[in-house]
Amino acid sequence: MMFGYSGELAKLLSGLSIKVGDLVRVESGERVYEGILMPRTELGDPTCLVLKLPNGYNIGVRVGRETRITKLGEGEGWKGLPPPSPPD
């Protein structure tokens, strides 16, 4: 499951055997980003993917025809959010 990714971007990621939680490199023009593929909000831009960078920041990267995505490593996969804590 791609957790928020749909359409052409979901097909692209699936074709590259990339899933949420994997370590990826994204090359877009002169810029290169490496990070963990994060789930994308359903209301987010359908042409963008979300990466968690090594410094802890999350960024969105627009994916176009010129964008290259490479899988660098397997992740544990996204298990979703933990259940809410019980009230005190």
The CATH code belonging to domain 7-72 is 2.30.30.520
The pLDDT of residue 84 is 72
Please write down the long-range contacts of 38-47, taking CB distance under 8 Å and 24 or more positions apart. Answer: 38/78, 39/3, 39/4, 39/78, 40/3, 40/4, 40/5, 41/4, 42/4, 44/4, 46/6, 46/7, 46/9, 47/9
User: At 10, phi and psi to the nearest 5?
Assistant: -65, -40
SS3 category, 13: helix
Q: What is the pLDDT of residues 64-87, one digit of tens each?
A: 989 999 999 987 655 565 667 778
The domains of the chain are located at: 7-72
pTM for the full predicted model: 0.81
pLDDT for the residue numbered 59: 94
- For residue range 8-55, list pLDDT tens digits in order: 999 999 999 999 999 999 998 899 999 999 998 877 888 999 999 999
